[in-house]
Amino acid sequence: MIIKAPSEESRRRHPSVVVLDNAQFAHPSERVFASLLSLYGHDWVYEPIEFPLAWNSVGQPTRGFRPDFFLPEHHLFIEMTVLDQRLVTKKNQKIRQFRELYPEVELVVVYQRDFNELIERHGLSVGSPHAA
């Protein structure tokens, strides 16, 4: 059961912030992307914030979205969507809902074809073709 989102004020007090010091990447593509960000001198944080997307009747988050990277100097979140095509639809639904609830938050989505072009340009490879 999805309940209407809490007020703007209460929504801003939440999301939970959990910064991971030693990033344990969910997929090799994220490690490669992080290396490229570092190579080009961008400070980044891996999965620092979970944004609630749905709440229960007492206002506790029941569903969330945690973008893969945050670039603090650009106030920009990046989501890697290099999933098997059959899984992209579900993730795209989360991304649309995130954008509706948090229009002020800048999010860039990197799709599989974009990522493949990026690693080809740099002469890199990634383990499994299916990702987070």
- Taking only the tens of pLDDT, the chain with its 132 residues reads 344 444 555 444 333 333 334 568 888 889 889 989 998 899 999 999 999 999 999 999 999 999 999 999 999 999 998 767 677 888 899 999 999 999 999 999 998 889 989 888 888 777 644 444
Distance of CA 30 to CAs 23, 54, 96, 106, 132, Å?
10, 26, 21, 19, 8
- Quick one: which of 6, 4, 11 has its CA closest to 102? 11
